[in-house]
DNA sequence: TCCCTCGGGACATTATATGACCCGCCGGGG
DNA sequence: CCCCGGCGGGTCATATAATGTCCCGAGGGA
């Protein structure tokens, strides 16, 4: 039993206060400058009580209010960073991590407080955690393979150039998908490589092609080469999606989507749709790394949060290819209950 | 900046809550079983608010209430122990220690949260701190010299037999004084030796004698021997008194007392009365160690708390004989302001 | 046995937090 | 340019929680 535990025993009402103010600060950090009324709506509490909290935090010098709204001070940023440890302890996250590692057979679970679905500001924390972890394992000359998705885009952003080994090559494992170019694996590779001062490759191909063209595309030397490089990556970091979200992004019509869901698809990764047991229920003919390629990669890191992705995470993890899973509390708690862990 | 600092920034109202409940628990520990009304009086707050606090703490399992009053649970004891670290941090005690070490030229300051004058329950904390420190420095075969006083008596009580080097000899440095035999150096030596499984000597003499008899008493072989042993002690731990309190204990009448005070006497130790600069303004012809004997003792530990003793502590410390000073926050804060430290 | 203090219940009263609505200000867009 | 929407901040009635006050039956010690 340590200091914080004793403190919580002495002041039980501390928990909810910390909860409220912590998420408030987190929202302020990510949405700044933000107005009081809007903030209240995001927090799900009334305007007046939000205001009281803001007054307290302003007196403490954690935030400043101006005519444009509320913003964090430098001290507020610092405090917020430190608070993550506190909240981890309040939520018993270490325990959750250890239990899930055992129950899911994953080498390492990293759980970030919060739930991306209920508070999207947490995406930055998740991304920071991923970036911090990756920085710890990257070595000089490594090949780092990356997937696409909003989460990975944020991870790439969060890499700072400090303390990063040189000569890292970042290689995308998928072609383009949908419209938003910023979340393609290609752009992510660029951003990440820039941020760590490494080099990158590009996979100039659509993500999903008609089967008849697949072979032709794969025979293209520059594409083959990039895919081959991805296969012998030292580290692979990939996102995770719910089946529904990814299907929509791929432009499924309602009928196909319903069929997919009916087949039990809950999660998606690498162009494969998984059911809750980790079985592949649908496969796309895609340009890029395949699931079976993961086996050869020494370190596979899965990143994703938001409780709606819990099934997806479980499906992907149960394939057994994932070495490190970085997720949020929303997912972790749901996994706990799915696995009937107390 | 660490976790607790961030937490306090986030929840500023935490300070007073911790303050209230911490001192409540401390009183409960030392006065248990204690009634709600009495407790309220000691805390200086109303009965009703005390009751609310008690209800919260009982729900947390830190205390139990029965028909005899309030008591700590085992968990409550544990939490209370851990809370001392928290309170130390809340009160910035490390900083105070470092500053006072420099300002007073003392090798080591150990400051315990609280003020013995306003809350006597803290005496146990002070004694525990002293006991813990002494246990850390005692070595096999050491001679440990002890003075008298209520504080030292508590220190002796607080020694547990665990992890204590053997063959320690405890020797009193003063004869008997006043009526209450439990706080004589002699009894303290006995208690302490018993608790650490060592041996003890006794100084069978009054503390204060008429000058004409002094030489005769000092020539008594068994007394000379004990005093000689005290002079070559490895460690000396002694208490500290206000001039007024000690004079009263020695039976001064009002006139003599006023004269003493008029001479600037503020503190007492070893039968000497000091003024605020550490000058000796009065000396008693006493049986036992003299001030000048301290110079030869490698480690002199001074123990005393309660803000009324601040002048006394400063006087004794300014003699330069003290290597380690164990005191409470009441003294420390007053010393800070006397020395104009911010 | 009596009596004193214990914890706990009850309730009017007060302090505090909240809801609701207002204002003047500022900046961006028409 | 001006207008308008969102901004922070003030105000005050009201809801909610904390507190003061008094009481009760129980249990332990003289």
A-B CB pairs within 8 A amount to 82
Are B83 and A59 in contact (CB < 8 Å)? no
Give the 3-state DSSP-derived string for chain A, with helices as H, strands as E and coil as C.
Answer: CCHHHHHHHHCCCHHHHHHHHHHHHHHHHHHCCECHHHHHHHHCCCHHHHHHHHHHHHHCCCEEEECCEEEECHHHHHHHHHHHHHHHHHCCHHHHHHHHHHHHCCCEEEEECCCCCCCCCHHHHHHHHHHHHHHHHCCCCCEEEECCCHHHHHHHHHCCCCCCCCCCEEEECECECCCCHHHCHHHHHHHHHHHHCCEECCCCCECECCHHHHHHHHHCHHHHHHHHHHHCCCEEEECCEEHHHHHHHCCCCHHHHHHHHHCCCCEEECCEEECCCCCEEEECCECECCHHHHHHCCEEEEECCCHHHHHHHHHHHHCCCCCEEEEEHHHHHHHHHHCCCC
Nucleic strand C contact set for A 54-83 (CB, < 7 Å)? 67-68
Are A21 and B5 in contact (CB < 8 Å)? no
pLDDT at position B164, please?
79
User: Which nucleotide is nearest, taking the CA of residue A66 and each C1'?
Assistant: D8
pLDDT digits (tens, 9 = 90+) for B52-107: 999 999 999 999 998 888 999 999 999 999 999 899 999 999 999 999 999 999 99
Residues A288/A289/A292/A297 CA torsion (nearest 10 deg): 170
Top mean pLDDT of A115-119, A144-148, A159-163, B265-269 is at: A144-148
Helix (H) or strand (E) run with residue B94 in it: helix B93-104
Average pLDDT in chain A: 88
Q: Which of B1, B2, B79 faces A9 most closely, judged by CB atoms?
A: B79
SS3 B320: coil
Report whether pLDDT(A151) > 90. yes
pLDDT at position B209, please?
67
Are B3 and A82 in contact (CB < 8 Å)? yes
pLDDT at position A206, please?
72
For chain B, the farthest-separated pair of C-alpha atoms sits apart, in whole angstroms, at 69
Are B22 and A1 in contact (CB < 8 Å)? no
**Residue B68 CB closer than 7 angstroms to strand D?**
yes
R_g over Cα of chain B: 21
SS3 B234: coil
B122 near B116, Cβ under 8 Å?
yes
pLDDT digits (tens, 9 = 90+) for A23-61: 999 999 988 789 999 999 988 899 999 999 999 999 999
User: Which nucleotide is nearest, taking the CA of residue B34 and each C1'?
Assistant: C6
Report whether pLDDT(B179) > 70. no
The sign of the CA dihedral B156, B161, B165, B168 is positive
Closest CA to D29 C1' — which residue?
A: B68
SS3 B233: coil
pLDDT digits (tens, 9 = 90+) for B151-175: 999 999 988 877 778 889 999 988 7
- Going along chain A from its start, the domains and CATH numbers come out as 2-89 (1.10.10.10), 93-338 (3.40.50.1360)
Closest CA to D8 C1' — which residue?
A: A67
Task: Give the pLDDT band of residue B291 (cuts 50, 70, 90).
Answer: confident
Alpha-carbon gap, residue A124 to A26, rounded angstroms: 9
User: Which nucleotide is nearest, taking the CA of residue B50 and each C1'?
Assistant: D19
Is B79 an 8 Å CB contact of chain A?
Answer: yes
Top mean pLDDT of A267-276, B204-213, B229-238 is at: B229-238
Residue B84's closest chain A neighbor by CA? A3
Alpha-carbon gap, residue B248 to A137, rounded angstroms: 71
pLDDT digits (tens, 9 = 90+) for B261-270: 888 888 888 8
Interface of A with B in 164-223 (CB under 8 A): none
pLDDT at position A149, please?
87
Enumerate the residues of chain A whose CB falls inside 8 A of the CB of residue B56.
12
B316 near B273, Cβ under 8 Å?
no
Alpha-carbon gap, residue A176 to A199, rounded angstroms: 19
């Amino acid at each position: 039993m340590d200091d914080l535990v004793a403190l919580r025993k002495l002041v039980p009402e501390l928990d909810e206060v910390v909860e409220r103010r912590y998420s408030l600060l987190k929202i302020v950090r990510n949405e700044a400058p933000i107005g009081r009324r809007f903030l209240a709506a995001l927090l799900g509490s009334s305007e007046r009580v939000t205001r009281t909290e803001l007054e307290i935090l302003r007196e403490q010098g954690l935030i400043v209010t101006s005519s444009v709204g509320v913003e964090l001070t430098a001290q507020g940023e610092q405090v917020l960073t430190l608070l993550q440890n506190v909240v981890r302890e309040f939520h018993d996250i270490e325990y959750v991590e250890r239990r899930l590692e055992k129950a899911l057979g994953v080498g390492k679970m990293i759980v970030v407080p919060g739930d991306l679905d209920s508070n999207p500001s947490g995406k930055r924390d998740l991304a920071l955690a991923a970036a911090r972890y990756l920085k710890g394992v990257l070595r000089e000359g490594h090949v780092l393979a990356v997937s696409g998705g909003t989460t990975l885009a944020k991870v790439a952003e969060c890499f700072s150039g400090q303390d990063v080994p040189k000569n890292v090559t970042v290689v995308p494992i998928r072609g383009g998908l949908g419209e938003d170019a910023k979340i393609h694996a290609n752009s992510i590779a660029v951003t990440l490589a820039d941020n760590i001062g490494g080099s990158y490759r590009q996979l100039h191909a659509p993500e999903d092609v008609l089967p008849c063209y697949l072979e032709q595309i794969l025979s293209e030397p520059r594409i083959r080469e990039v895919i081959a490089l991805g296969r012998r990556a030292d580290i692979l970091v990939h996102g995770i999606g719910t089946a529904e979200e990814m299907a929509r992004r791929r432009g499924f019509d309602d009928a196909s989507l319903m069929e997919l869901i009916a087949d039990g698809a809950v999660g998606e990764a690498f162009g494969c749709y998984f059911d809750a047991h980790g079985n592949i229920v649908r496969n796309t003919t895609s340009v890029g790394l395949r699931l079976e390629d993961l086996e050869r990669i020494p370190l596979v890191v899965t990143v994703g949060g938001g409780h709606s992705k819990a099934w997806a995470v479980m499906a992907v993890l149960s394939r057994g290819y994932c070495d490190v899973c970085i997720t949020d509390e929303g997912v972790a708690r749901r996994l706990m209950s799915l696995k009937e862990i107390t």
